Amino acid sequence: MAQPQDQKLKSNFKWQAALSKIEKMEETPAGVFTSQREAERALSIYNRALEHLHTGNEDIAMIALEKLVATYPLFTDAAVLYGLSLGADRKYKDAELQFNKALLTDPDPANVEILRHLQAQACLCKDRDEELERSRRRNEKKLLPVRASLAQAGILERAAGSADGDGVRMASSRERDDLMRQINQGNKGSYSSSSYGSRNKTVQIISIVIIIAALLFFL
């Protein structure tokens, strides 16, 4: 089984790089299969899956590996390969579960350390992604009142091609200029000097809202 060079946990662990270091197996471990025929079949599936992973056919490889580890739960090398594949696909929760299953099968003592390390690494990446998602939702919640204000002012529009209507974008500079011109034209000749002050205040408020929204979008 391939051993990672660095045992330190990393939030940016390179799953694909670790996967690329795994080489084809020449023979299966002893005591895992009940017959030579089973061993040869499992070895063939493993090596084909590895080839698919190295040639960009990850979906085919993962389907084969899922069946392989379900059929031969003691085939630790297959469990590691499948877990790394899940990690490379950013399915960290599934990867963690896969490494945990492999640990529960009483693996060879030489493989326990690598399995524990990979399980902990998958857990770290899972926790990081969950925290990023929580942060994204918090920022999204902060944007809701700003978006509502911008929508009322005509500054925020639906993004083109947004199927559910949730996608939004900031109005362009030209669109904002058009809005300001419409405000000015609508009020031209209709108000006294005091009305002009009110209109100017409205423009200032809209500008402030635009600035706040821009800052929030870049959090």
pLDDT digits (tens, 9 = 90+) for 5-38: 456 787 778 999 989 889 999 998 888 898 999 9
125 with 172, same domain?
A: no
Q: How far apart are CA 83 and CA 25, in angstroms?
A: 17
Confirm whether 6 is domain-assigned: no
For the chain, give the percent of residues with pLDDT over 90. 36
Domain that holds residue 19: 15-130
Nearest to 80 by CA among 52, 54, 60, 100: 100
27 with 113, same domain?
A: yes
Confirm whether 67 is domain-assigned: yes
Lowest mean pLDDT among 112-116, 184-188, 190-194: 190-194
Exposure string of 63-79, with b = 16+ CB inside 10 Å and e = fewer, is ebbbebbeebebbbbbb
What is the model's pTM?
Answer: 0.61
Q: How far apart are CA 96 and CA 102, in angstroms?
A: 10
